[in-house]
A and B are shown apart, each in its own frame.
Chain A
Amino acid sequence: MSRLERWLRVVSLHVRSLCMKNRVEQDLADELTFHFEQEAQRQRARGLSPEAARAVVRRQAYGLEAVKDACRDARGVRWIDDAVSDIRYAVRTFGRNPGFAISTVLMLATGIAASTGLFAVMDAVVLRPFPYVGADRLARVQLLPPSGPVRRASVTADEFRALRQASTLDDAYIRESFTKTLAGSAFPESVWTESYTGNALALLGVQPIIGRVFTEAEASIGPDPPRVAVLTYRFWQRRFAGQPNALGQTLQLNDEPFTVIGVVPAEYSLDLTDVMLPLPMNVGNGATWPAVVRLRTGTSIAVAEAELQTLFEQFARSRENALPRNFRVRLRLLVDEERGASLVPVLTMLFAAAGLLLLIGCANVMILLLARGRYRVHEIAVRHALGATRSRIVRLLLCEALLVTVAATVAAVIAARYLLPSLLDLVPGVIAQRAGRSVIGPTAIFFAASLAAVVAVISGAWPAVAVSRWGGDAIRGASAARGSSVGSVGSGVLIAAQVAIVAVLLAGTGAAMRALVDLYRAPIGYDPTRVTIAQIYLPTNRYTTWPARLAVYERLRAEVSHEPLVEGSSISLIPAGPPPLSGMTTRIDAQGLRDADREVLTLSVASDYFATLKMPLARGRVWSASDDARAEGVTVINETMARQLWPNEDSIGKRVRDRSFAERQNPPWVLNAPGRDGWFEVIGVVRDAPNRGMREPIAPAMYYPYATALSDVAVLLVRTRGNPLAAERELRTAVSRADASLPIILFITPETFMGWQQGEFVTAVLLGFGGVALLLASFGLFSVACYSIAHRTREFAIRLALGAPRSTVLRAALQSVAVAVSLGLGFGLALSVALNSVLARWSIRNMDDPSVLAATVGILVVVTVAATLIPARRATSIEPAIALRTE
């Protein structure tokens, strides 16, 4: 109680001292006047005359003003007063010199805005990739067999119940993604649904913005949960224009009615989810689902893994052969998985580039503050003479840097806040999907503020200390030139640092451009001109027999190929698509091979696949359209497979068996052709095309007639006669003629899936950064060159008057700049080469490419010459007589 009282009194006194300054000062004066009067009275009482008494008092008074000052200090608010007057002074200084103020603010704002924007993206993608409660304790359960690939541990409904009881876990849930067909508009729409066990949304802390989410009580584990749907914000806006009356409406998903019960905020649209549904779990027919678990707070992964190991060993005993032998349970944190994604290095690199941009901005501000400080030596000296302490002057100068930084940060945050959403719209699909959640929110603003504090110290401290010292030197009569030479060495170091950073940025940009060009030039094994692809999903409950499914695919092919806009078309079955999309990894047996167990990719494609994509055949032939319909046991293999399996003999006529063909018996997703046993005869060899993305080496692959194993997801491949995206409507109509309820999603062109877009995006951002960096650095160079020449005008004038040739003067003028630039350039190139081996781990290469480095040097030399041209001309055009008179 009394502590609170005291605290309140102290605060109110502080406030009073600050806000009612006149009143406080008056009180102080009154108090001391009273004191001196009393003292005088006392002296009089001791018998002194009034005048003598007052004189004694005056002598005694330690110095009225000094006492007052000491009292003010005792009140503990002095520094605030000083700071206020410093800020006022700094504002006035900038007001008198708006050009300086604006340019420094802009220089810093560019870097801060870029860093803050990228921080927001990093925050959304890397730091907090999931908006869930306890997101950093969510883990996937994996099984590691002694050899072979890692497997997801799937559980039956009973096992799931047991898993939820594990003592090291908070709980577990299951999430499965499906695309479902939504009926009710002009064309059937394909929507991304996520099915969750009833406990999941509460566990993950998903809060609805309107309505409610389904709970464990209403959607318990079982085959038949209630048909309710929770919409994501994205889908709610798209389908219901954000109207609250969406609640209670019915969605026809795969011919089943679902009632909308709630909408969840935008950040839950991870992976472009549209609708969240309760997961139906068929108890007892052996179906399994991959589970996600949440560790208890404070439980280590190893402890949880140990418990789950015991649990899954029990599961393995009751489920014969379903789990690999001697497996080890591993928990993989979802956040780790996310951070391991290929996007992270790209973002980290861009973030680092933004940081470099900011450093260049800081260096520029330091250069400007130092240069301006030289003109302020006299002012500082006068301040010293009037009794300002060194620390007081440093504080004054720091205050200016702080003011610039605060203004720049405010500008940067505002700019980032308004520009980020529209910039994110320009970002290509794969990045946008992840980065779409990024906003300039409290975290980003906090980041910007912390950054500003660091920036203010970096860019303000050295100039403030240096300038205050020059002032001190000046008043002690030390030559002003000494201070200046220290300053020009400082500027030289800054210029060198800037040039080095710009060189690294340019080399990085060059490397990204090289990588992009390489990507464009890389052999892709087919002709992507005017090619577009779309995914077709068969509705779940229809086409459940092999003949019916084949019939609808054949009808679809016929309808699309008859479109006048279509030059050629084909289909393949997911995961097969055009190169470099992958096929399914399977193991094969082959006759006459000692090492019979080999992994290859299998791709189910129609006979016209090769012709449509213009993939050249090396040997043999392709199967015919009638082979397609009969699911003939023939295959076309790629050159890599031919070379690896039969290095010394002709592969045509060899027989191979797809082992997964027999193992794969899980309708309704895949329907094997009746009477087939998985044996194929090689009838042709096709030229190699990348089939595991553009960066991985080509894997052995075999293509076989798609009817052999019909999955319910197909890729429609079309080469159009005109702009492929303009043909979308015709293509949709053609598909709907085959079956009006077939949804198509995503008409995309090779630019997207070839990774070109990402490369183009990265290159564009780096080009932007490199350009701005170059601009900033050239500004720094320009001001240093200008200053060093202006400062030495008198010296040059004397030299010229004594007959020195102008070229000598020019050399003297630009020597220090030239030395700084060459040092910086050398250091920057060395750094680029050194960084190359570090960055190579993130598949960012080519920074040591001679052509890239040569281009960097070339650009920097040109910019240096351009930036120093005007100051250099000024140096050589000095008129000695005029210059000497004016100095």
Chain B
Amino acid sequence: MSKPPDLFQGTLDLLILKVLVLEPLNGWAIGQRLLQVSGEVLQVSDGSLYPALHKLEQEGWIKGEWRATENNRRAKFYSLTRSGQKQLNKEMAHWDRISAAIMRVLTREV
């Protein structure tokens, strides 16, 4: 697939940060994890994933590090920084508000 599913602006950032809470992951693994966790719904193209990772790194929310994988390949692993954790909390709260608001709109009897 060449077109990423349309995510809300900034939603991908939120998902990446969330996925990295548990452990540092490389880019490919992040994509896989998102796919898995979302029940094969959210497939993020590399064309969206990597620019997002680089942007988050540049913002200082995640930190890239070259490490060996299980089968001894060199890969860039991203981990959450302290300010990234804060940003995640902020965005989660924001997301809760937004989704709650959307739900209200959608479920309201007209």
Contacts and interface: CB of A to CB of B under 8 A. Distances in A.
Interface of A: 2-3, 5-7, 9-10, 13-14, 27, 30-32, 34-35, 37-39, 42, 59-63, 66-67, 70-71, 73-76
A59 B76 contact: no
A625 B55 CA distance: 99
B54 interface: yes
B89 interface: no
B28 A74 contact: no
Contact of B46 (A2, A42, A67, A73): A67
A75 B28 contact: no
Identify which of B1, B27, B46, B58 gathers the most chain A CB atoms within 10 Å of its CB.
B46
20 contacts: A2-B82, A2-B86, A3-B83, A6-B83, A13-B57, A31-B27, A34-B75, A35-B27, A35-B50, A38-B29, A39-B28, A60-B2, A62-B46, A66-B47, A70-B50, A74-B52, A74-B54, A74-B55, A74-B58, A75-B54
A10 B59 CA distance: 6
B46 A61 contact: yes
A61 B45 CA distance: 8
Contacts of A14: 58
Interface in B12-56: 26-29, 32, 45-47, 50-55
A40 to B, nearest CB: 11
Nearest to B43: A60
Contact of A32 (B1, B29, B46, B52): B46
Contact of A7 (B26, B28, B60, B73): B60
A38 B28 contact: yes
Contact of A9 (B29, B50, B63, B86): B63
Contacts, number: 80
The 6 closest A-B pairs by CB, nearest first: A62-B47, A6-B60, A70-B51, A74-B55, A74-B54, A38-B28
Contacts of B53: 71
Contacts of A66: 47
A63 B59 contact: no
Nearest to A17: B58
Given A10-B58, A30-B74, 12 more contacts: A6-B60, A31-B76, A34-B27, A34-B75, A37-B73, A39-B28, A60-B1, A62-B46, A62-B47, A67-B50, A71-B54, A74-B54
A2 B45 contact: no
Contacts of A63: 47
Contacts of B59: 10
A74 B74 contact: no
Identify which of A14, A32, A70, A75 gathers the most chain B CB atoms within 10 Å of its CB.
A70
A32 B50 contact: yes
A118 to B, nearest CB: 46
Nearest to A12: B60
Given A6-B81, A6-B83, A71-B51, A31 B75 contact: yes
A35 B82 contact: no
A62 B60 contact: no
A30 B83 contact: no
Contacts of B60: 6-7, 9-10, 13
A6 B81 CA distance: 9
A38 B26 CA distance: 11
B73 A34 contact: yes
A516 B31 CA distance: 84
Contacts of B46: 32, 35, 60-62, 67
B81 to A, nearest CB: 7
A322 to B, nearest CB: 73
Contacts of B54: 71, 74-75
A14 B54 CA distance: 12
A541 B3 CA distance: 102
Contacts of A38: 28-29
B58 A70 contact: no
A792 B61 CA distance: 61
Contacts of A34: 26-28, 73-76
Contacts of A74: 51-52, 54-55, 58
Identify which of B54, B57, B73, B74 gathers the most chain A CB atoms within 10 Å of its CB.
B54
B76 A27 contact: yes
Interface string B58-89: 11100100100000011110000111001000
A67 B47 contact: yes
B34 to A, nearest CB: 14
A73 B76 contact: no
Interface string B70-110: 00011110000111001000000000000000000000000
A396 B54 CA distance: 27
Identify which of A7, A32, A38, A73 gathers the most chain B CB atoms within 10 Å of its CB.
A38
A94 to B, nearest CB: 34
Nearest to A7: B60
A2 B54 CA distance: 20
Contacts of B27: 31, 34-35
Identify which of A9, A27, A31, A34 gathers the most chain B CB atoms within 10 Å of its CB.
A31
A38 B27 CA distance: 10
Contacts of B2: 59-60, 62
Contacts of A32: 46, 50
A572 to B, nearest CB: 81
Nearest to B81: A6
A37 B71 CA distance: 13
A14 B59 CA distance: 10
Contacts of B29: 38
A185 B60 CA distance: 74
Nearest to B28: A38
A1 to B, nearest CB: 9
Identify which of A32, A60, A62 gathers the most chain B CB atoms within 10 Å of its CB.
A62
A815 B28 CA distance: 70
A634 B2 CA distance: 113
B98 to A, nearest CB: 24
A39 B29 CA distance: 10
B60 to A, nearest CB: 4
Contacts of A73: 51
A167 B27 CA distance: 70
B76 A76 contact: no
Contacts of A27: 66, 76
Nearest to A66: B47
A14 B75 CA distance: 22
Contacts of A37: 73
A71 B95 CA distance: 25
B8 to A, nearest CB: 18
B63 to A, nearest CB: 7
A42 B46 CA distance: 15
A465 B15 CA distance: 43
A31 B64 CA distance: 11
A2 B83 contact: yes
Contacts of B83: 2-3, 5-6
A170 to B, nearest CB: 47
A418 to B, nearest CB: 45
B74 to A, nearest CB: 7
Nearest to A61: B46
A60 B53 CA distance: 19
B57 A31 contact: no
Contacts of B1: 60
Contacts of A5: 82-83
A27 B65 CA distance: 11
Nearest to A64: B46
Given A35-B46, A62-B46, A70-B50, A76 B26 contact: no
Contacts of A75: 54-55, 58
A75 B83 CA distance: 18
A78 to B, nearest CB: 11
A799 B50 CA distance: 64
Contact of A76 (B45, B58, B63): B58
Given A13-B58, A39-B28, A71-B51, A62 B45 contact: yes
A367 to B, nearest CB: 43
Contacts of A7: 60
B35 to A, nearest CB: 10
A289 to B, nearest CB: 65
